[in-house]
Chains A and B, each alone.
Chain A
């Protein structure tokens, strides 16, 4: 069947089209869907687009930030108020990919891609989705677990609390070539502190499973403790628990398991 492109002015209509056809995919920046079409993915017959301006809305004024699903990485990089996300956005692709790829699309990117989703997972983001029954919010962890389920949902925006201080949010990506490349392993951590102790630690890993995954055992090792040599070592020792990395052209599963702890240590100790 030839490919049909359907463009809608509202996200509601786009979401309805998306959920009514099994072979429909939503086109954000194109870096995922066009790639699939180029490589001969005949399971896509309809490409759904929406020109709804709400999808590119940015709300960065308050302590809760909201990023429209259609906002590109380049736009994030141009926004001073999102400086804490610049290392994340800047680690994705090259300049052209960043002009095209969207925050919403990155939630669906298969491993070893999806670095922004890793950061959002660490930030305990909420994903606003327009499914068959209207808009609803889903915690990102729940969203990621069901992202491949049909009928496909249309992501409208993501939101999260701004980190309390600059040091609380940390990000690190290991790639074969720099300054870009698919991920060998991606790490993001949100480590808010209270009275010097880590409260509500969240550590997210990319390329360590089919989708971004939380390193819950490592989080537990830090919870309520001061970030020192002992707690860091405990977290590092638990780094691979609950992960299931794959072999791909960038790294073997074995290698990913070997190095994730090394990079978690560097992330937690602030090493470059």
Chain B
């Protein structure tokens, strides 16, 4: 039963809700129940070949030598594909919006950085023949020390996972190894607090486990183009990524997405299309590359693990006066979307609460684990898990009801948020009140009377004096342009000798030449859309 609480914020509403609350049938439901819904794999193509990859058994190793002589002679083998066959064998997903450096090979060449990393691909007449040929490849690995823990990866002397980022952290604005948020003075806040609580939270990588595994089928089309059926959730990401990796104009491809058989974020990386297309290019035939179930579970990217240290200063009366967060996002061996996850995480601090002193350091860390990807609120949900567990503990510490504790600390309209933006249209208080009502959880009258629209702003609207970090490292030469940028190179910009430390989050970017689709994605660059 859906209950619409139009009484809440009634004077702000302009909603003659015609659709919400009704069970509207999905447009694809008939297809689902009759089996007519088409998934990427529901296409019969004449002469289709099967692609399987050889995966590294090591988490971290140098590749000394690959011997494919026996595999090439194996029955049914049409083509072997190695790293050298990939036109542009280094990429990162968000290079499409000029965010990050190319760090991930389609097929590993000198080194493998996670267990399961693809080293070469075999295209054969049948699955069985592909498996048999894979079994005949001899790879000579030199095992290297590996690192699996985010904090270990940041210690001096830790194995370098990815030479593109030699400190094992993603680099923001060329020089920062983490995202920063600074608001007020947390140390003064802790000194004045009645209680200080520091806890460590850990969320493991989470596997999406879609019922349909990742995969794609690429086939030569009539006019020199290729048609690609894919399981991707992100058709344009995939198309443009393939155009870059294969070094062809993007109109070479006709990408056709099917109904996705469960994505949840696990089908946003371009996992199979580049090799399927390359296979089609090199053999002249349709090629299918589909993950088996073990591949999907183990080598398909998971939601990245997060480790969060949360330190709060709280007064006896329940007000949180300082919150300090240090968080590590485990990106695995390559960046993919984790750089963005850390930005989101920093942007989410300190949660929907007004806290006068906030400090956040969010790291995107590389380890020798399966590269992570998006999943349902990635970068934010783990932080919420930590924050909300902490809120319960803080409430318990001061002897306050946890619902009332949240209402007390909730942000209200007009409050200044740690990101120096005014809180607008807040509604946490009303949500907690309704939840308490539904759960028959008693709230004291004064908490039932509180509102998001009362008691905010005023002194709470001020930006406090903020201590900033002392040392800003010297600025090296300008932002690395990705090779995919096709716009002309601008002249180098003059560098100021001692740059002011940048604002904590979402700074205005250094002037960039107009390039491939950059400005639209304002959450990354901070340019605001009106």
Contacts and interface: CB of A to CB of B under 8 A. Distances in A.
Contacts of B135: 42
B292 A39 contact: yes
Contacts of A196: none
| Interface size classification for chain B | 10 to 19
Interface in A236-265: 249
B132 A1 contact: yes
B264 interface: no
A30 B131 CA distance: 20
B294 interface: yes
A42 B128 contact: yes
Interface in B113-139: 127-128, 131-132, 134-135
17 contacts: A1-B132, A2-B128, A3-B128, A37-B128, A38-B292, A39-B292, A39-B294, A40-B52, A40-B127, A40-B128, A40-B131, A40-B134, A40-B292, A42-B131, A42-B132, A42-B135, A249-B297
A38 B127 CA distance: 9
Contacts of A40: 52, 127-128, 131, 134, 292
Contacts of A39: 292, 294
Contacts, number: 18
Contacts of A249: 297
Contacts of A3: 128
B374 to A, nearest CB: 23
Given A1-B132, A40-B134, A40-B292, 15 more contacts: A2-B128, A3-B128, A37-B128, A38-B292, A39-B292, A39-B294, A40-B52, A40-B127, A40-B128, A40-B131, A42-B128, A42-B131, A42-B132, A42-B135, A249-B297
Interface in A36-56: 37-40, 42
Closest 9 CB pairs of A and B: A40-B131, A42-B132, A42-B135, A42-B131, A39-B292, A39-B294, A2-B128, A3-B128, A40-B127
Contacts of B128: 2-3, 37, 40, 42
Contacts of B297: 249
Interface in B283-314: 292, 294, 297
A249 B204 CA distance: 14
Interface residues of A, number: 9
Please report whether the interface of chain A is mostly helix, strand, loop or mixed according to DSSP: loop
Contacts of A38: 292
Nearest to A38: B292
Interface in B408-452: none
A22 to B, nearest CB: 16
Contacts of A1: 132
A204 to B, nearest CB: 29
Contacts of B131: 40, 42
A112 to B, nearest CB: 15
A53 B57 CA distance: 45
A38 B294 CA distance: 11
Interface string A1-16: 1110000000000000
A42 B134 CA distance: 10
Select the residue from B52, B128, B294 with max chain A CB neighbours within 10 A.
B128
Contacts of B127: 40
Nearest to B292: A39
Nearest to B127: A40
Contacts of A2: 128
Contacts of B292: 38-40
Select the residue from A3, A38, A39, A42 with max chain B CB neighbours within 10 A.
A42
A42 B126 CA distance: 13
A79 to B, nearest CB: 33
A40 B128 CA distance: 6
A1 B294 CA distance: 23
Interface in A158-212: none
Select the residue from A3, A38, A39, A40 with max chain B CB neighbours within 10 A.
A40
A122 B517 CA distance: 67
Interface in B41-83: 52
A19 B424 CA distance: 77
A249 B131 CA distance: 24
A81 B25 CA distance: 49
A38 B297 CA distance: 16
A40 B294 CA distance: 11
A189 to B, nearest CB: 34
A42 B74 CA distance: 13
A37 B52 CA distance: 15
A2 B292 CA distance: 20
Nearest to B130: A40
